Structure 1
Amino acid sequence: MAIFSHRTRRKRIADTNLRLCMPELKDDERDVLIRNIIYSCGIGFFEGAVALWGPAERLKNSYRINGLEHLHAAKAQGKGVLLMGCHMTTMEICGRILALHEKFDVFYRQDPNPLLAYMLVKARESYNGESIISVETLKLARNLKAGHIVWYAPDQDYGIQHSIFAPFFGVQAATVPGTGRFAKLGNALVIPFLHFRDADGRYSIELKAPLESFPSGDDLADSTRINKIFEQAIRKQPDQYLWVHRRFKTRPPGEPSFYSK
């Protein structure tokens, strides 16, 4: 019963998010998309296990990757890279795939379960660089200045204390302005890291050119620009985004919650 309740709650959250972000969808179109989102989350769970604890050989010939030259050019310049991604359900498996080509650190929010947190760090560091907890911002800046590549996903709601409000699919969303701030602190380039699961069962990874004139010095302009990049990526494969997250949990003062309890 608890599992069913949890699944139903996640479906309600996804439904709310899609009504806000894709109001052009008809009811039946949204229902189909929600089913595909739940299915994609399930696939992502098993892909994550393969990524974290499976042999690398299982990933060979399972992907396409474009844009590695941008990472190589940054390394040749001695520049650190903030590898900016969002929470697609392919994030764990495609992170493992990218690690076959370039090692990178991971900037992450620590799991509250100590045992799981330990297992995740141990697994990721077996094939990647350092795991940097989200409170270790000085370590992040040092690693970027030292020329490290650091993966960072700033697309979730971290509360009003750490955020500013910027549009995401036309809705004001609590957005962490860390991308621009960390890039400035670490004198680093920002390279968008996009990843998708294809219909043929393979994965597509796209590393875009470094963002130009970034950071601009304007947190709102920079956060709006980042959210727009994520919007464009999500629209390519909307069923693969983590819509079950309460992206709009934090509201501007005076605005009611979008989510039922």
Structure 2
Amino acid sequence: MTQQRNDFDELAYSPQFKLNFLAPKYWTTWLGIVAICLMSLLPKCLQSAIAKCLTSIAVKLKSGAAKRARINLSMCFPEKTENERADILYQMYMTAIMFMMNFASLSMRNKHWLERHTEIRGFENIQKVIDSNENVILLVPHTWAIDIPAVLFASRGYPVSAMAKSQKNQLADWLMHRQRVQHGGRVYDRSVGIKPFIKSIRKDNYLGYYLPDEDLGKDHSVFVDFFATQKATISGLGRLSKLSKAKIVPLFAMFNSKTGQFELDIYPALPFPTENEHKDARMMNECIEHYVTQNPEQYMWILRLLKTRPNDEKNPYK
């Protein structure tokens, strides 16, 4: 699986640089990119001091992101006190800001730097599946370090195939895509359907990258338990496993804001498919609950995780 390969696929998403990226409407984005690149060169103690200041501001702002995070935490952890949930929110912002300060290093540094700054626990769970001549679909929840495994594995010769939604800011979208596939791999837009994604796993032996916690609405989901509430959970992972002839291997990506290291926990393959969509969906959510309970600050609580509600309940974010 580590041989040289041609990653070109005419159906894969491939944004290109445009001259209008130099127009005034993108100058703010360019300034932000320069700032993040400079911050990535700062010593960790200085990064931490800046992150603490920014976090103190962020948790006080009445922003949409903070509001969504508070709603998600209150619905998922009603048994926790308001102070306990506030502490999770604070630690999440610290993790997110520290990670963003180091995000540019993925492009500014080489793959050897990434290896030295990543601790991997359980890669043998992927290797075991590969050695048995089976394919792999990685089950990767939305943590702040979600892009790290894809870049690292590709640098080792194990390119990843993923499906993603393009960013509204076309310059940011182009830069993020270049970073994701800098060592190889494929990204497909949802508009092309699931077939190219399956083909890349089944026939081309790419590692599939599956995000289990997206809310794609009622038509593509089943309602199952998620912490103390219910969540519209993507259905069909069992069918995807069968069609791709792949084992489902859970992976939890983290950023340690104290050490500045990326940390990847890889778990043994799950018993997919079960022939029951609700059981499959609940198994995915149980994985997320297990990881997040141990490291709640790593999770993207700012997402619209619970916007689709059962029994026509109101969208909690409106």
Q: How far apart are 1:52 and its partner, in Å?
A: 4.4
List per-residue Cα deviations over 1:118-164 (Å, max 9, x = no partner): 33323322213111223430011112212221111121212222221
Secondary structure of the structure 2 residue equivalent to 1:247:
coil
Would the alpha carbon gap of residues 192 and 160 (structure 1) be closer, same or farther in structure 2, given more than 3 Å must change? same
Secondary structure of the structure 1 residue equivalent to 2:94:
helix
Q: For the residues of structure 1 that align with 2:213 and 2:77, how far apart are their CA atoms?
A: 17
- Could you tell me which runs of 5 or more consecutive residues in structure 2 were left unpaired when the two chains were aligned: 1-56
Would the alpha carbon gap of residues 118 and 202 (structure 1) be closer, same or farther in structure 2, given more than 3 Å must change? closer
**Which residue in 1 is equivalent to 2:101?**
46
**Which residue in 2 is equivalent to 1:22?**
77
- Could you tell me which runs of 5 or more consecutive residues in structure 1 were left unpaired when the two chains were aligned: none
2:238 is the alignment partner of 1:238:
no
Q: How far apart are 1:7 and its partner, in Å?
A: 5.9
User: Partner letter of residue 107 of structure 1?
Assistant: M
**Alpha-carbon contact 1:80-1:188 (below 8 Å) kept:** yes
Secondary structure of the structure 2 residue equivalent to 1:253:
helix
Alignment of 1:95-244 (within 5 A): 95-101=150-156, 102-135=158-191, 136-146=193-203, 147-198=205-256, 199-212=258-271, 214-244=272-302
Would the alpha carbon gap of residues 6 and 50 (structure 1) be closer, same or farther in structure 2, given more than 3 Å must change? farther
Secondary structure of the structure 1 residue equivalent to 2:311:
coil
2:305 is the alignment partner of 1:250:
no
Q: For the residues of structure 2 that align with 1:140 and 1:20, how far apart are their CA atoms?
A: 33
Structure 1: 4+ residue segments shifted above 4 A: 3-7
**Alpha-carbon contact 1:74-1:80 (below 8 Å) kept:** yes
User: Partner letter of residue 30 of structure 1?
Assistant: R
User: How well do the aligned residues superpose, as a CA RMSD in angstroms?
Assistant: 2.3
Q: TM-score, normalised by structure 1?
A: 0.88
Secondary structure of the structure 2 residue equivalent to 1:91:
coil
User: Partner letter of residue 263 of structure 2?
Assistant: S
Q: TM-score, normalised by structure 2?
A: 0.74
**Alpha-carbon contact 1:194-1:207 (below 8 Å) kept:** yes
User: Partner letter of residue 261 of structure 2?
Assistant: R
2:120 equivalent among 51, 58, 65 = 65
Would the alpha carbon gap of residues 20 and 150 (structure 1) be closer, same or farther in structure 2, given more than 3 Å must change? same
User: Partner letter of residue 208 of structure 1?
Assistant: Y
Q: How far apart are 1:182 and its partner, in Å?
A: 1.4
**Alpha-carbon contact 1:84-1:152 (below 8 Å) kept:** yes
User: Partner letter of residue 311 of structure 2?
Assistant: P
Q: For the residues of structure 2 that align with 1:134 and 1:48, how far apart are their CA atoms?
A: 25
**Alpha-carbon contact 2:150-2:180 (below 8 Å) kept:** no
Q: For the residues of structure 2 that align with 1:60 and 1:139, how far apart are their CA atoms?
A: 30
User: Partner letter of residue 72 of structure 2?
Assistant: N
Aligned residues: 257
Would the alpha carbon gap of residues 223 and 258 (structure 1) be closer, same or farther in structure 2, given more than 3 Å must change? same
User: Partner letter of residue 286 of structure 2?
Assistant: K
Q: 66-75 or 140-149, which moves further after superposition?
A: 66-75
Identity %: 24
**Alpha-carbon contact 1:64-1:203 (below 8 Å) kept:** yes
Q: For the residues of structure 2 that align with 1:53 and 1:152, how far apart are their CA atoms?
A: 27
List per-residue Cα deviations over 1:95-115 (Å, max 9, x = no partner): 333434332222222324444
**Alpha-carbon contact 2:138-2:250 (below 8 Å) kept:** yes
Q: For the residues of structure 2 that align with 1:99 and 1:194, how far apart are their CA atoms?
A: 17
